[in-house]
Structure 1
Amino acid sequence: MLRIRHDVDGRPDMLLAEEVDPPEAGAGEVLIRVEAVGVTLPVVRKLRAGGEPVVLGGEVAGEIVAVGAGVTAFGVGDRVTGLCSADAYAEFAVLNAAMASPIPAGASAVEAVALVRSGLVARGAYEAARPEPGESVLVTAAASGVGTLALQYAKAGGASRVVAAVSSADKADFVRGLGADEVVRYQDADWGAPYDVILDGVGGDLLGRAVRALATGGRLVAFSSGGGTVEAYELLLRGASVIGFQMRAVAVGKPELYDRWRRELWHLHHAGALRTAVHEEIPLADAARAHALVEQRRNLGKVVLVPTPPSGP
């Protein structure tokens, strides 16, 4: 099978295509024939950090071709999606059955990787902010896979004003089409502050400015892998708070809530109330181009890798 591997020999972002034997499903695992892989910003950032080779994890979706010992919730032929911790960029991938969720009949694998993980993060981050109807909301990284869904959640949640923060003006029409009332660029001097709720998917140097854009009693939810520093004085000045959100804490600590959110995602999607946005479906062998799109923030929605269907495991 074809697999993409990261190497640091020569360049920190080097991705190598290689032919290897398919993996086997261990206890509690399923082996899937991969139909789609969602590219995530945290993985792209890890490559750029240099140092040791990075394990290429990601959101995968496809058909189960083998199940490991102890797996009872799924069987061969089921179509599932989930977060794969290693070797996701491949024609076949091993997925922990506990992290897998079924893909409804009629839905595509590309829809699944664009909707489920990003939608769960968007839903969880928005709920962590304890929003009230009539509040104002700013979403950074608004054109990303998570950001596009966060905009829609904020709009559906009764926000009086939903503002999208993006890296360039050419994304304005795209995010307006997903419900943004206004659009600001990161480099703009005026962000139209203050905001009751800020959902930050960027972090880094932008985090401090986002905190300063909070209204009195405002809440910022940080769910990015970009880090950043918050000045305590800025929070005291506004009586504001910063909340860290991690999806894994919900998936592991509150599996019933995780499952309910997932079912709601598909229901809203099928009802047309929650739209996925896919920038491009890129062949697996061209993973480097997919990473460049995400790193340079040129994508409008989710970037998805699509393997060529292999003949067998």
Structure 2
Amino acid sequence: MLRMRHEVDGGPEVLFAEEVERPGAGAGQVLVRVEAVGVTLPTVRKVREGGGPVSFGGEIAGEVVALGAGVTGLGVGDRVTGLCIADAYAEFAVLHAAMASPIPDGATAVEAVALVRSGLVARGAYEAARVEPGESVLVTAAASGVGTLALQHAKAGGAARVVAAVSSAGKADFVRGLGADEVVLYEDADWGAPYDVILDGVGGDLLGRAVRALATGGRLVAFSSGGGTVEAYELLVRGASMIGFQMRAIAAGRPELYGRWLSELWQMRDAGVLRTAVHEEIPLVDAARAHTLIEQRRNLGKVVLVP
């Protein structure tokens, strides 16, 4: 089978394809014939900064072709999606059965990888902020896979003002089409502050500026892999708070909540409240181009690899 790899750190140019034996499903695992892989910013960053070869993890969707020992509730032929910890950029991938969730009839694999993981992060960040109807919400990285769904969660939750922060003016019409009332650029001197809630998917140097854009009593939820530091004084003078959110902590520590959010995502999709935005479906062997799109912040929505 085909699998994408890299042996040294660097940009997208270090990715290469290799032919390897198809893996087997171990105890508690399923083997999936991959139909779609969601490309994420953390994975792109790991290739450039990971300190050595990194096995590509990621969201996958496809058909179960083999079951490992002890797997119940799934069968060969089932269509599932889930977070694959290693070797996700491949024609066949091993998925822990506990991480596999069914894809409803009528939904495509591409739609599943665009909705589920990104949607869970967006939902979790929104819930962590405890947004009240009538409040103002700023979403950074608003044109990303997570950001597009976070915008829609804010609109559906009754926020009075939803503002999208993006890297370029060329993304303005796109995020407005997903419900943004206003659009600001990272480089703008005025972000239209203050905001009751900021959902930050960028981190880094932008994090401090986001804190300074909070209203009195505002809440900032940081869910990116970009790091960053915040001066405690900036929170103190606003009576504001900062909350860190990671989906893995919910999946491991509160599986009942994870399951409820997952079910509600598909319900919201069926009701037309949430819709996925896919920038492009890119052949697996062209994964370097997918990474380039994300590194250069040119994607409008989710970037998906298709074996």
Kindly state the Cα deviation for residue 270 of structure 1 after the two structures are TM-superposed.
1.4
What is the DSSP-based 3-state SS (H/G/I as helix, E as strand, rest coil) of the residue aligned with 2:90? coil
Within a 5 Å distance, the mapping from 1:35-184 to structure 2 comes to 35-184=35-184
C-alpha separation between the residues in 1 aligned to 2:198 and 2:122? Answer: 12
Q: Which residue pairs with 2:272 in the alignment?
A: 272
Partner of 2:51: helix, strand, or coil?
coil
> Letter of the aligned partner of 2:138 in structure 1?
L
Q: Return 5+ residue gaps in structure 2 as ranges.
A: none
| Distance apart, 1:264 and its partner CA | 0.7
> Which amino acid is 2:261 matched to?
W
Q: What's the CA shift string for 1:233-291, capped at 9, x where partnerless?
A: 00001000100001011111111111111111111111111000000000000000000
Q: What is residue 236 of structure 1 aligned with on the other side? A: 236
Q: Report if the CA contact (8 A) 1:200-1:222 is conserved.
A: yes
CA offsets, 1:135-192, max 9 Å, x none? Answer: 0000000000000000000001010000000000000000000000000000000000
Q: TM-score scaled to structure 2, two decimals?
A: 0.98
| Cα separation, partners in 2 of 1:191 and 1:293, compared to 1, 3 Å | same
Q: CA deviation at 1:54?
A: 1.2
**CA deviation profile, 1:32-89 (whole Å, cap 9, x unmatched):** 0000000000000111115211110000000000000010010100000000000000
CA offsets 1:76-130 (integer angstroms, 9 cap, x no match): 0000000000000000000000011000011100000000000000000000001
User: Aligned pair 1:291/2:296, yes or no?
Assistant: no
**8 A Cα contact 1:137 1:195, kept in partner:** yes
CA distance in 2, matches of 1:42, 1:262: 22
Where do 5+ consecutive residues of structure 1 fail to align?
Answer: 308-313
> What amino acid does structure 2 have at the position aligned with 1:166?
V
CA distance in 2: counterparts of 1:7 and 1:141, whole angstroms: 29
Query: Is the CA contact 1:279–1:301 (under 8 Å) kept in the aligned structure 2?
Result: yes
Moved over 2 A (4+): none
Distance (whole Å) between structure 2 residues aligned to residue 88 and residue 21 of structure 1: 14
- TM-score if structure 1 supplies the norm length? 0.97
SS at match of 2:6: strand
Q: Which residue of 1 aligns with 2:34?
A: 34
**Is the 1:43–1:57 contact (alpha carbons within 8 Å) kept by the matching residues of 2?**
yes
The DSSP-based 3-state class of the residue aligned with 1:164 is: strand
**Counterpart for residue 246 of structure 2:** 246
Identity, % of aligned positions:
84
Q: CA contact under 8 A between 1:58 and 1:83: conserved in structure 2?
A: yes
Q: Which amino acid aligns with 2:301?
A: G
- Quick check: 1:202 aligned with 2:198? no
| Counterparts of 1:54 and 1:3, CA distance in 2 | 13
CA contact (8 A) 1:8 1:50 kept: no
State how far apart, in whole Å, the 2-side matches of 1:51 and 1:113 are.
27
Q: Secondary structure at the match of 1:291?
A: helix
Q: Structure 1 counterpart of 2:168, which letter? A: S
In the aligned structure 1, how far is the partner of 2:214 from the partner of 2:304? 34
**Alpha-carbon shift at residue 12 of structure 1 (Å):** 5.2
| 8 Å CA contact 1:37, 1:306 repeated in 2 | yes
User: What is the rounded CA distance, in whole Å, between the counterparts of 2:154 and 2:121 in structure 1?
Assistant: 13
Q: Distance in 2 between matches of 1:68 and 1:51?
A: 32
SS of the aligned residue for 1:229 comes to: coil
Aligned residues: 306
Assess if the C-alpha contact under 8 Å between 1:151 and 1:180 holds in 2. yes
